[in-house]
Structure 1
Amino acid sequence: MKIFNMAFRNMKSNFKNYWAYFLSCSFSVFVIYLFMSIVFNKNIQANLGGVKKFIILFNLGATMIVVFSAFFIWYSNSFFIKSRKKEFATYMLLGMSSKQVSRLNFLENAIIMVLAFVTGIVFGLMFTKLFIMLLYFMIKVTSEVSFEYNLKAIKLTSEIFAGIFLLIAIHGAILIRNSSLINLFNASKKVERGVKVSLLTVVLGVASIVCLGYGYYLAAIKMPNDFFKVPIVIALVVIGIVLFFTSTTSFVIHINKKNEKKLYKGTRLISVSQLYYRYRGNIGALSIIAITTTVALCALITCIGSYSRCEKNSRYMRPFSVEYFNTKAADKTFEDILKKHSKTEIKSKDEIKILNLTGVEPNLKQDGKFYVINESAFNAINAHQNNERRAKLNSSQDCYFVEVQNFVSGAKVINKEIKIKLKGKEYNMKITGSDFKPFIALDHFDETVVVKDSVFNELIKNSSKGSVINIKACVIKDDLSSKDFSYDLINKMPKDSRVVTFYDHYADGLKLLGMMAFIGLFIGALFIMATGSIIYFKLNMEAREDKSKYKTLMKIGVSKKEIKKSVSKELMILFGEPLLIAVISACPAAYALGKMLLLDVMKSYVYIVIVYTVIYLLYYFVTLNSYIKTIEE
């Protein structure tokens, strides 16, 4: 009981050093409980309908949060023990055994974890309904959400955090029991070693710039056309970031310390000297924060960017509102369903006749299957889809080539020749225009050659009946409101019609991308809270070690205002550098992802960077205020 009271008093008196850690742990509990509540919620499973399998995304998101939370708590606990070794040594000097000190540390961790768990669960119970409503809003599902508590979610969350706590408790006990009294005292004696600079540092610094520069170049220019460059880009950027923090920044700090003309101006001597001796011990943490923040930014940009472009992506995949292979049974069923939905207004109809023929591919120079369509039909289809694309063929030898998306620019096939083979005869066509946007649903689409009407009529006369494909397609006015009509078509049309609708693809895509965006928001929030908290309590602990230095400075005449200015510069670099490197590294990655996924994600990039910067600034000012208070005590 005495040890418990002692642990409780320690936590109470030093809570300002632990609040960020406590906050991040509580948020981890809250998010895991929220995700598990969604997984076990039968109402959500029913509303997901045909894409119920995507509930696995929440399991994946929860797993990522558990892994990151475990790493964060492990790292934090190791740092806390290291920073308190002198305190533990004092307890042992006063008569406590290493077993009792381990028990004290165990109880302090238990108090934090229990409080964090209770806080996270309480907030989970309070706000789960609100966030499920937000999820429904994002995936455009209209359903009532009732308040409920989920015992399965609470049980699983408690088991996960009990496992994490057990690991850190064992780890903490091992660290304390394996340290002798003299080692515990000596551990608190900080050996101040400045950044180490040599010729190798310069070489590695240059290598970091080369790795980052070449990685950014590959990401922005090469990666969109070659997916296999992704592992190379990741390796170059990670190596570049690590070398940048270990060598480039160290060299810049060293140069600033050697620049005596500027060194003695104002408080520059204090801030530069502090960085010179402080930076070396923070290299590992700053590198990890920069890398994880880059990953978090890229994930968020992809999730939010994809969600914001869901409608446009669906219209690319299925440019018609409804499309099916033409049969008498399919036509009759379609008309019957249309009569049933009297509010559904058909804006345009197209009866599309396509030839499925053999030809020689212009790039690979090998035989393959092609669709062939006439110019007037192709242009009419584009007009009905409000698409400005038109085929303008001047002679019977000209053609327009619609490629399958393969990350190869359409300009590369311009003026090349494509051969169409039919009953032993070859038609040599010159490609005068090209793109890779499907004009029918991608489900039915293949590479297409657009030819003059006269050439098409000749081809259709000489082709067999089996090579002719008849497709009926229509554009519905306000097809975003065609949910019931679309579902009736999917469920009642004959299977051989292979009917597809825009709304069906849009609804499924919205659910998938909405879930990804929802998960991404919480994972991103957890990342930034954890990384901000790591910097906060690391610098706050270091402030306690620096109290004597600043006390000496104040005795020799340095004002509190000057000390605050010096500390603010030091902390701005330690907070700002990882964020700046992450923002720069995420930019070419976002550009490449946008091109590969046919998305315009740069707006999402700007908004997410602004939000991240604002949150980091909040952590910066809180840390600065806490740092100043600590050294002034």
Structure 2
Amino acid sequence: MYFKLATRNMKRSLKDYTIYFLTLVFGVCIFYTFNSIESQKVMMKLNEYQAQGFDRIEKVMGATSVFIACILGFLIIYANNYLIKRRKKEFGVYLTLGMEKGKISKILFVETIIIGIISLVIGLVIGIILSQGISVFTAKLFQVRLEQFKFIFSLAACIKTVTYFLIIYFIVFIFNTVSISKVQLINLLTQGKKNEKVKLKSIKWSVVVFILSVIILAAAYFKMLNMSLDILDADLLIPIILGIIGTFLFFFSLSGFFLKVFQYNKKRYFKDLNMFMLRQINSKINTTFVSMSFICLMLFISICTLAGGLGINKAINKDIRDLTHYDATLFGFGQVPIEKLLENNNIDINKYSNDYINYYTYTNEMGNDQMGIKDYLSKEAADKNKSYFEVAQNSTIPIMKLSDYNNVMKMLQKEGITLNKGEYAVFGDINTLMDGLKEALDNKTKIKVNGKILEPSKNPAMEITISNDLIKRNYCTFVVEDSLAEGLMPINSFLSLNYKGDKQQMEKTYTKDIRKVITDQKNGVMSITKERLLADSASLGAMISYLAIYIGVIFLITSAALLALQQLSESADNIERYKLLRKIGAEDNMINSSVLIQVGIYFMVPLSLALIHSLVGLKIAGQIVKIFGSVNILNHLLVTTIFIVIIYGGYFFATYSGVKKMIR
């Protein structure tokens, strides 16, 4: 009986389940797709490092999926709450006819199971199809070819998806049971005739709070835009907290502010159904304050995550060639005699290479001889690049011997340089800082090394990467005559080499032999091989890209679905009011126009503020991307815009159509 009644109720309330059903399908599809990435490696020929990269992505996606499951669980419970609210009058009739609350809960449980099974099946089918296309994208990110395209079904991802959603549906069942057990019959029958309690009754106070929120947000923007990027700095939390507080106050006062502004324009206020529409928005200020604030912040995170994540992946892959000039680089802190260290561990470097160099960088600690990067740059260049931590902290510029520099250039098959007595040269590998270094040379900026004043040579500022590394981190290095570096303290030592013979076999031999040296922390030495670096950068880029898309799309769907359900719920409560409008002569076109504007305001206001937040957020995201490479993050806004138009715009259109049909 319960199954038959639940099935009949679902057919009758099919239009109410549309948004709920689509959200479930989207959630299942995306959840399966991003948890099936690891299974795609069977189509690719991967080396040991690339296989390890896939394993890391699987672990990160698994941990992220727990967070995503919590977000989707909250969304499904919220959506289910809308369905209960939409049907409270129906449940009131059941109770009036003598049905027990426990039996109503059983009916809801059967409905939840039915729609859950249908959405799981459809979502998994779409996810399986979508994951086949993702495999091509994965191969591109890992810079490998698909050996043979195969149809892939990930049983592990399927089991994980079904398990997580069964847990969510069980929680929904408990929520439904508790919700139904607490309601009273009079509330069920009169739910649609109740208004929201307005927290902020005074419209004048709304205006005051609105202005205060704008001031707080402006202060947050100003502080964020005028600070260096130091993720470990607690000062970064101040503008974040101000931004959150400002956002909540903005939506807390928004309805009253809108109402006050329109009341000044009597002609517009009394035109058509504007007065009714504005009063409707104002009466929902409590719901608007809570949900719209979170929705705005989620949209902001979604925009910045999508654009920033894709930008980081592009930056990593763009600079990887400059970061892998050698087959391997050994890196030591301080005056680590790397060749001697290898010899003490019975490792002969000639076994692996006939082409290698050993070189150092030094620090200038003679009295006041040290020069920081901020001091070396002009004031304008320092301000322009203050987002770099080293520039903001005025980090000391290291020094390199002329002979070491020329040896590096010879190994890179590039021309060396010459220095006259009393001259120095400059090189770095951060593209956006090169103009500042050139300007310093043009300004004839003098430096002091080992007590002697040096002038810039005629050599231009050179953009050179001197060792294998995951990211470019050499902001500036001075090149001086060898005699001037005598007595200076070494801060870093390098040994770069190119393998001889079969490079793949030599990579395995070198990696195996060198492991005992680098695992001993007392030695203070690290090894970065070209093959490992290529695999790590590809896996890191893929991981960041997938996380950006995964989190960004889920937040976008959640935001749009919450707004849609909120509007459908409000319209369900207002059906009697729209009937009354028709009775007093309001035409359907006028009512539809009012609905379009109201739904548009609910969708556009949080998106608009999120876009304003994103102007600042993307600047910070751009600074983070700079750490990995010189890429313009704005180039990835097109992809973000496409996601917003398809998902957010789709939910807007579905909501408007649903509300219009509901009040018809």
Q: Same fold (TM over 0.5)?
A: yes
Matched, 1:30 2:36: no
Deviations 1:385-422 (A, max 9, x none): 999xx9998871656475999x9x9789999886645x
Matches within 5 A, 1:30-109: 30-39=29-38, 43=42, 47=46, 48-51=50-53, 52-109=55-112
Deviations 1:127-161 (A, max 9, x none): 43333343223322324353344444333332222
Matches within 5 A, 1:377-416: 377=405, 381=409, 396=422, 398=424, 400=426
Partner residue of 1:176? 180
Corresponding letter in the other structure for 1:619: Y
Whether the 8 Å contact between 2:359 and 2:495 is mirrored in structure 1 is yes
Equivalent-residue separation in structure 2 for 1:272 and 1:239 (angstroms): 25
Partner residue of 1:21? 20
Deviations 1:45-72 (A, max 9, x none): 9843243334212112322221111111
Equivalent-residue separation in structure 2 for 1:537 and 1:399 (angstroms): 64
Equivalent-residue separation in structure 2 for 1:251 and 1:185 (angstroms): 34
Corresponding letter in the other structure for 2:633: V
Structure-2 change in CA distance of 1:322 and 1:620 (3 Å):
same
Q: SS in structure 2 opposite 1:224?
A: coil
Cα deviation for residue 357 of structure 1 reads 5.9
Structure 2 unmatched ranges of 5 or more: 331-337, 340-346, 376-393, 518-524
Whether the 8 Å contact between 1:350 and 1:472 is mirrored in structure 2 is yes
Higher alpha-carbon deviation: 59-68 or 602-611: 602-611
What TM-score do the two structures reach when normalised by structure 1? 0.80
Matched, 1:206 2:204: no
Whether the 8 Å contact between 1:320 and 1:501 is mirrored in structure 2 is no
Corresponding letter in the other structure for 2:251: F
Matched, 1:185 2:217: no
Structure-2 change in CA distance of 1:546 and 1:383 (3 Å):
farther
Matches within 5 A, 1:190-589: 190-191=194-195, 196-224=201-229, 227-228=232-233, 229-315=235-321, 318=323, 320-322=325-327, 324=329, 330=349, 333-334=352-353, 354=360, 356=362, 359=365, 361-363=370-372, 370-374=398-402, 377=405, 381=409, 396=422, 398=424, 400=426, 420-421=449-450, 426-427=451-452, 438-442=465-469, 449-452=477-480, 455-456=481-482, 458-459=483-484, 487-488=504-505, 490-493=507-510, 495=514, 500=528, 504-589=532-617
Higher alpha-carbon deviation: 571-580 or 28-37: 28-37
Cα deviation for residue 527 of structure 1 reads 2.5
Partner residue of 1:167? 171
Whether the 8 Å contact between 2:469 and 2:533 is mirrored in structure 1 is no
Corresponding letter in the other structure for 2:143: K
Deviations 1:462-511 (A, max 9, x none): 5699999675578x9xxxxxxx9864553344738977455642332122
Equivalent-residue separation in structure 1 for 2:468 and 2:496 (angstroms): 11
- The percentage of counterpart residues that share the same residue type is 22
Higher alpha-carbon deviation: 608-617 or 244-253: 608-617
Structure 1 unmatched ranges of 5 or more: 336-348, 477-483
Q: SS in structure 1 opposite 2:238?
A: helix
Corresponding letter in the other structure for 1:560: D
Corresponding letter in the other structure for 2:22: L
Structure-2 change in CA distance of 1:90 and 1:290 (3 Å):
same
Equivalent-residue separation in structure 2 for 1:382 and 1:549 (angstroms): 83
Equivalent-residue separation in structure 1 for 2:410 and 2:257 (angstroms): 59
Structure-2 change in CA distance of 1:254 and 1:109 (3 Å):
farther
Cα deviation for residue 9 of structure 1 reads 0.9
Q: SS in structure 1 opposite 2:468?
A: coil
Q: SS in structure 2 opposite 1:196?
A: coil
Partner residue of 2:520? none
Q: SS in structure 2 opposite 1:362?
A: coil
Corresponding letter in the other structure for 1:629: K
Equivalent-residue separation in structure 2 for 1:257 and 1:427 (angstroms): 75
What TM-score do the two structures reach when normalised by structure 2? 0.77
Corresponding letter in the other structure for 1:144: Q
Corresponding letter in the other structure for 1:213: A
Whether the 8 Å contact between 1:375 and 1:391 is mirrored in structure 2 is no
Higher alpha-carbon deviation: 604-613 or 436-445: 436-445
Higher alpha-carbon deviation: 55-64 or 148-157: 148-157
Equivalent-residue separation in structure 1 for 2:428 and 2:592 (angstroms): 64
Structure-2 change in CA distance of 1:282 and 1:465 (3 Å):
closer
State the superposition RMSD in angstroms.
Answer: 4.4
Whether the 8 Å contact between 1:294 and 1:586 is mirrored in structure 2 is yes
Deviations 1:11-64 (A, max 9, x none): 111111112211211222233333443456773898432433342121123222
Whether the 8 Å contact between 2:298 and 2:556 is mirrored in structure 1 is no
Matched residues, number? 599
Partner residue of 1:129? 132
Partner residue of 1:341? none
Higher alpha-carbon deviation: 500-509 or 244-253: 500-509
Structure-2 change in CA distance of 1:217 and 1:381 (3 Å):
farther
Corresponding letter in the other structure for 1:12: K
Corresponding letter in the other structure for 2:27: S
Cα deviation for residue 251 of structure 1 reads 1.1
Matched, 1:612 2:638: no
Q: SS in structure 2 opposite 1:222?
A: coil
Whether the 8 Å contact between 1:298 and 1:590 is mirrored in structure 2 is yes
Structure-2 change in CA distance of 1:560 and 1:450 (3 Å):
same
Structure-2 change in CA distance of 1:170 and 1:589 (3 Å):
same
Equivalent-residue separation in structure 2 for 1:211 and 1:486 (angstroms): 59
Cα deviation for residue 90 of structure 1 reads 1.3
Whether the 8 Å contact between 2:302 and 2:553 is mirrored in structure 1 is no
Equivalent-residue separation in structure 1 for 2:18 and 2:625 (angstroms): 41
